[in-house]
C-alpha cells in the first residue's frame, strides 16, 4: 500500500485540499444563511442549486476536456471556484447564492472528472482498487477535517470563506505539477432511467431516494443545527459525524455485502437509518443524542450508495455496466435536487425537527421497496455477484465507471482463484484418498497372506503328539548316543540292574545291528544299551521314567 500511495500522493494531497475547501463552504452556507435570516425554503433552493450544477458538470466537462485539454479545463474551473467562494459573503442574497452555488457545483464536478482521470491513469490494473480506496478515503477525511477548520473563525465574517478559497487554489499546485500524462477521458452514454428501472428496479429507485437522503444530510444539516440553536462548533461536530460514521461502517458493510443477499442488507441498513433518524427526532436539541443519530444515519448512507451500485451491476452484463453507471449517477443527482427541497419545505411548514422526519420517511421507503423486491425476484447467488464498490456519492460518472469495471474484473479474478483453489483441494483430496486406499489394500493383503501361512501351524499345534512321534528322524549315530545316555541314567536310578545282550532293533531304532559275538564296538554298544534285571529289581513296564 505504501508503494501505491508513493506514486499518487501528490494527487491525493490535492484532493484532500479541494475537499477541505468544499466541505467548509457546504457548512458555511447553513451557518451564514441563518445569520442573514434566510428561511429554510430559501436555503433548500440554494442547496439544490449545487446539485443541479454538479449534474450538469458531470455531463459537459468531458466535452470541454476533449476540446481544450485537461490542464486548461482544470485551471479555468479552479479559478471560477475560488472566485465564487469569495463572492458568497459579498452577495448575501438567496438568488445570488443559488447562482454561485450552481457555478460551484458545475466546476467542482469538472474538477473531480479531471483529477480522477489523472488518478486513473497513474494506477495499473493491479493497483487500481487500492488507489480508488485511497481516493475515497482522502475525500472523506477532507470533508471531516473541514469541519474542524470552521471552529477557527466566525461565519459572520468573510474569513472562513476566504480560507476555503485559498485551500481550493493551493490544491491545484500538487495536482498540476504531478500530472505528467494527459489521459483520454471517455465517459459512456448514460443509460435511460426507464431502461435502468427495467434492468434493476431496486437499484434505480433506491439510488434516487438515497440521493435525496445524502443531499438533505450534507446540505440541510447545518440549517437544522442553526435553527435548533446549536453553536458553530457543535454544528461542525454534527456534520463531521455524518461522514465519520460512513468512514467507520464502510468496511464491515462491504464485508457483509460480499457474503449475503444484498437486498436483505439494503433493507436492514435502511431500517437502521430510519431508526436513527427517529431517535434524533425524539432527542430534540440534546447534543450527544443528536451526535449519535448523525453518526449512524450518515454511517449507513454512503455504504448504501456503494451497495446499490454493486447490486445493480449484478443484474447487468459487462457491456451494459458503463452506461448503467452514468444512469445511476444521473438518478442520484435528480434525487439530490429533490431532497433538500422536500426537507426545506417540511421544515418551513412544520418545524426544524421535520429534518429528521423527512430523512426517516425516505429511509423507510427504501427499506420497504427492498423488502418488496425480495418477494418479486430470485436472489443472485453470492458467488456470481461483483465485488463491493468502495465509492462515495461525490464521485463523478467516470470514477463510478472505472470502479464498476474494476469490481467486475476483481470478481472474475476471485472466482478463477476460488475455482483453482477448489481444483487443487480436490486433487489433494484424491491423492490422499488414493494413498489411504493403497495402504488399506496392502494391509489387507498382508493380513490374508499371514493368515494363510499361520493356519496350518495352528492346526498342527492342536494335534496332541504321542510318545512315539518324532518330529525329525534321528540318524543312527544320534540314536545310539541317545540310547547310551538314557541307559547311563537308568543305571544310576536302578543300581541292581545287570546288562544283557540287546540289539538296537529291540530298542525301537528299526535297524538290525547283529549279535553280541560281533566286533568289539558292537559289543560295547550292546552292553551299554541293555540291562538284565534280577528278581528283586524288575523294570517297570511302560515308557522310560522321566529325567530328574
More confident: 339 or 480: 339
| CA angle, residues 92, 149, 296, in degrees to nearest 5 | 95
The answer to whether 347 touches 355, Cβ cutoff 8 Å, is: yes
Residue in the block written with cell 467542482: 108
Instruction: Give the residue from 322, 333, 51 showing the smallest Cα distance to 190.
Output: 322
Question: What pLDDT, on a 0 to 100 scale, did the predictor assign at position 291?
Answer: 94
Residue 30 lies in a domain: yes
- Please tell me whether residues 339 and 417 are part of one structural domain: yes
Buried b (16+ CB within 10 A) or exposed e, 239-261: bbbbbbbbbebbeebbebbeeeb
Give residue 254's pLDDT: 84
468 within a domain of the structure (yes/no): no
**Is 149 within the bounds of a domain?**
yes
* Closest residue by Cα to residue 35 from 147, 163, 157: 157
Tell me: do 169 and 217 sit in the same domain. Answer: no
Find the mean pLDDT for residues 467-478: 49
pLDDT(474) > 80 = no
pLDDT digits (tens, 9 = 90+) for 311-338: 888 777 766 776 777 788 889 999 999 9
CA–CA separation, 403 and 329 (whole Å): 13
Q: What is the pLDDT of residue 524?
A: 46
- Are residues 392 and 316 part of one domain? yes
Burial class from Cβ neighbours inside 10 Å (0-12, 13-18, 19+) for residue 472 reads exposed
> Per residue in 63-98, pLDDT tens?
888 888 878 888 889 899 999 999 999 999 999 999
pLDDT band at 544 (very low <50, low <70, confident <90, very high): very low
The percentage of residues in the chain with a pLDDT greater than 70, rounded to a whole number, is 72
Tell me the C-alpha distance between 286 and 531, whole Å: 132
pLDDT at 138 over 60: yes
- Residue 521 sits in the same domain as residue 376: no
What pLDDT, on the 0 to 100 scale, is given for residue 548? 42
Per the structure, the count of domains in the chain is 3
Q: pLDDT-based confidence at 516, cuts 50/70/90?
A: very low
Give the confidence band of 414 by pLDDT, cuts at 50, 70, 90.
Answer: low
User: In this structure, is residue 465 part of a structural domain?
Assistant: no
Structure confidence by residue, pLDDT tens digits, 281-291: 998 888 999 99
Q: Does residue 52 sit in the same domain as residue 131?
A: yes
Which pLDDT score is estimated for 521? 45
Q: What's the gap between Cα 119 and its chain centre? A: 25
Domain membership of residue 368 (yes or no) is yes
Q: What's the pTM value of the predicted model, to 2 decimals?
A: 0.73
Query: Which pLDDT tens digit goes with each residue over 200-219?
Result: 899 899 999 999 999 999 99
**What is d(CA 282, CA 407) in angstroms, rounded to the nearest whole number?**
40
- Structural domain that includes position 409: 201-433
Give the tens place of pLDDT for each residue, 295-308.
999 999 999 998 88
- How far apart are alpha carbons 72 and 82 in whole angstroms? 16
Residue-wise pLDDT tens digits, 214-261: 999 999 999 999 999 899 899 999 999 999 998 899 888 888 887 888
Same domain, 176 and 228: no
Query: 389 φ, ψ to 5°?
Result: -95, 110
What whole-number percentage of the chain has pLDDT above 90? 35
Predicted local distance difference test score (pLDDT) of residue 65? 82
Question: Same domain, yes or no, for 122 and 17?
Answer: yes
- Provide mean pLDDT across the span 508-525: 43
What does the block give as the cell for 200? Answer: 434493476
| CATH code of residue 20 | 1.20.1250.20
State yes or no: pLDDT of 37 exceeds 80.
yes
Among 381, 410, 433, which residue terminates a domain? 433
Nearest to 128 by CA among 389, 469, 475, 505: 389
Amino acid at each position: 500500500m505504501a508503494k501505491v500511495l508513493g506514486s499518487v500522493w501528490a494527487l491525493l494531497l490535492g484532493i484532500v485540499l479541494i475537499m477541505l475547501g468544499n466541505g467548509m463552504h457546504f457548512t458555511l452556507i447553513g451557518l451564514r444563511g441563518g445569520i442573514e435570516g434566510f428561511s429554510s425554503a430559501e436555503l433548500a433552493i440554494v442547496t439544490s442549486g449545487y446539485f443541479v450544477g454538479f449534474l450538469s458538470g458531470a455531463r459537459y466537462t468531458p466535452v470541454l476536456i476533449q476540446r481544450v485539454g485537461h490542464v486548461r479545463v482544470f485551471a479555468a474551473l479552479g479559478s471560477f471556484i475560488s472566485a465564487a467562494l469569495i463572492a458568497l459573503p459579498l452577495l448575501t442574497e438567496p438568488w445570488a447564492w443559488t447562482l454561485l452555488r450552481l457555478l460551484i457545483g458545475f466546476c467542482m464536478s469538472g474538477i473531480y472528472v479531471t483529477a480522477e482521470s489523472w488518478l486513473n491513469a497513474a494506477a495499473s490494473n493491479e493497483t487500481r482498487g487500492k488507489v480508488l480506496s485511497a481516493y475515497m478515503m482522502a475525500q472523506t477525511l477532507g470533508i471531516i477535517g473541514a469541519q474542524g477548520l470552521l471552529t477557527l473563525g466566525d461565519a459572520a465574517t468573510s474569513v472562513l470563506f476566504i480560507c476555503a478559497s485559498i485551500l481550493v487554489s493551493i490544491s491545484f499546485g500538487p495536482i498540476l505539477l504531478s500530472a505528467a500524462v494527459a489521459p483520454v477521458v471517455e465517459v459512456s452514454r448514460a443509460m435511460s432511467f426507464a431502461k435502468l428501472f427495467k434492468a434493476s428496479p431496486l437499484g434505480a429507485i433506491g439510488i434516487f431516494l438515497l440521493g435525496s437522503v445524502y443531499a438533505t444530510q450534507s446540505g440541510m444539516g447545518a440549517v437544522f443545527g442553526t435553527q435548533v440553536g446549536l453553536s458553530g462548533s457543535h454544528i461542525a461536530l454534527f456534520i463531521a459525524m455524518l461522514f465519520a460514521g460512513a468512514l467507520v461502517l464502510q468496511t464491515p458493510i462491504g464485508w457483509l455485502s460480499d457474503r449475503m443477499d444484498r437486498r436483505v442488507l439494503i433493507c436492514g441498513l435502511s431500517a437502521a437509518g430510519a431508526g436513527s433518524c427517529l431517535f434524533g427526532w425524539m432527542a430534540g436539541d440534546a447534543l450527544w443524542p443528536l451526535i449519535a443519530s448523525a453518526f449512524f444515519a450518515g454511517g449507513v448512507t454512503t455504504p448504501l450508495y456503494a451497495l446499490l451500485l454493486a447490486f445493480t451491476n449484478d443484474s447487468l452484463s459487462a457491456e451494459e455496466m458503463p452506461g448503467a453507471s452514468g444512469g445511476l449517477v444521473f438518478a442520484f443527482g435528480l434525487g439530490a435536487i429533490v431532497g433538500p427541497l422536500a426537507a426545506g419545505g417540511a421544515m418551513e411548514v412544520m418545524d426544524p425537527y421535520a429534518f429528521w422526519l423527512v430523512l426517516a420517511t425516505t429511509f423507510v421507503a427504501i427499506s420497504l421497496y427492498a423488502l418488496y423486491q425480495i418477494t418479486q425476484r430470485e436472489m443472485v447467488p453470492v458467488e456470481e455477484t461483483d465485488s463491493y464498490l468502495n465509492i462515495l456519492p461525490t464521485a463523478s460518472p467516470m470514477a463510478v465507471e472505472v470502479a464498476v469495471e474494476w469490481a467486475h474484473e476483481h470478481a472474475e479474478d476471485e472466482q478463477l482463484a476460488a475455482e483453482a483453489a477448489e481444483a487443487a483441494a480436490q486433487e489433494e483430496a484424491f491423492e490422499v484418498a488414493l494413498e489411504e486406499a493403497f495402504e488399506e489394500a496392502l494391509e489387507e493383503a498382508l493380513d490374508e497372506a499371514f493368515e494363510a501361512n499361520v493356519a496350518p501351524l495352528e492346526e498342527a499345534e492342536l494335534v496332541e503328539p504321542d510318545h512315539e512321534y518324532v518330529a525329525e528322524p534321528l540318524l543312527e549315530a544320534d540314536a545310539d548316543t541317545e540310547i547310551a545316555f538314557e541307559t547311563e541314567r537308568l543305571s544310576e536310578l536302578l543300581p541292581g540292574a545287570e546288562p544283557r545282550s540287546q540289539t538296537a532293533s529291540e530298542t525301537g531304532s528299526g535297524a538290525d545291528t547283529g549279535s553280541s559275538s560281533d566286533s568289539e564296538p558292537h559289543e560295547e554298544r550292546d552292553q551299554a544299551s541293555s540291562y538284565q534285571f534280577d528278581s528283586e529289581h524288575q523294570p517297570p513296564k511302560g515308557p522310560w521314567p522321566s529325567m530328574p
